[in-house]
Amino acid sequence: MLTQNPRRQLLPTNSMVCDKHARARAKIVIESLGLTSRKLPDNIQDMLLRFDMRDVELWTQPELVPVPLIDDEWAGDERYLREFMKNEECKYPLRDRWIFLYLSVEFPELYRHVIR
């Protein structure tokens, strides 16, 4: 049975994922977790599937509009994590938002250190 008011999860903002200090801390967390370029998109898809099963909706700020599909933003570059890890600057904020969301949902204790 579907709930009347599904839980809303906000996707991190572009300014958050492009902050050089937050990016540096996120890289440390990713490295310590041993996440790989091949597994990350699958892990994110699994997380989104669990959201669907719990009727969680993803929204973006400030408009609070539904989020586009991850496949639309990640398509053709399944090994994007390598780029994320080696680039100092934020070249693909929409993709980076998925990485930050994954960390915030799957590893909330570590994520608190990323965004401090």
> 66: cis peptide before it, omega within 30°?
no
pLDDT tens per residue across all 116 residues of the chain? 344 455 677 778 889 999 999 999 999 999 999 988 888 888 888 888 888 777 777 766 666 556 666 666 666 666 788 889 998 889 888 889 889 989 998 898 999 999 88
Q: Where are the alpha helices (DSSP H) in 1-116?
A: 14-17, 20-33, 40-53, 70-74, 80-86, 93-106, 108-114
Q: Taking the model in full, what pTM does it have?
A: 0.80
User: What gap in Å lies between CA 7 and CA 56, rounded to an integer?
Assistant: 5
Amino acid 64: pLDDT: 59
Amino acid 61: pLDDT: 66
User: What gap in Å lies between CA 70 and CA 44, rounded to an integer?
Assistant: 9
Contact call for residues 89 and 24 (beta carbons, < 8 A): no
